Amino acid sequence: MMWPDAEAALVAWLAPHLGVRVCTDTPADLADAVPLVRLHRIGGRDDGFRLDHALVDVDAFAATRADAVALATRTRAVLVGSLPGSVVRTPAAVFTAASTVSAPSWRPWENPGVIRIGATYAVRLHAA
């Protein structure tokens, strides 16, 4: 069984829903690129048949705490509220569920000019 790339599928789906840059790697010019959302898979499992159960860390970066919290809150709302049932073409994937594992909270970042609010989500998906 081949499962779709959960990171690539989430980037493709989230970017138009949030209206900000969504990426898997932190840009070198982060302070100039905010607001943005960075995500990466941290684990998960599969059912051995069809579904991929991905655990994904999602970080909202902004210049102020209020902006970072607002972006993280909006990200959570669209992931949990709108992602299930969605389809992306590249990579071809269907999302079947999304839930919060760890709610958005402040996470340290080495540049004091950038605020990071992170959360962890469980996302289920399968090939389209």
Task: Dump pLDDT digits (tens) for 26-49.
Answer: 999 999 999 999 999 999 999 988
Domain extent for 94: 6-25+33-127
Task: Give the CATH number of the domain where residue 10 resides.
Answer: 3.30.2000.30
Exposure string (b/e) for 52-87, b if CB count within 10 Å is 16 or more? Answer: bbbbbbbbbbbeeeebbbebbebbbeebeeebbebe
pLDDT given at position 52: 96
Please state at what angle helix 6-18 crosses helix 65-82, rounded to 10 degrees: 110
Does any domain span residue 104? yes
Res. 58 pLDDT band, cuts 50 70 90: very high
Residue 1 has pLDDT above 80, yes or no: no
Residue 2 has pLDDT above 90, yes or no: no
The number of distinct structural domains making up the chain is 1
pLDDT given at position 110: 92
Does any domain span residue 1? no
pLDDT given at position 13: 98
Does any domain span residue 66? yes
Task: Kindly report, residue by residue over 83-94, the tens digit of the pLDDT.
Answer: 999 999 999 999
- Summarize the confidence of residues 52-69 as an average pLDDT: 98
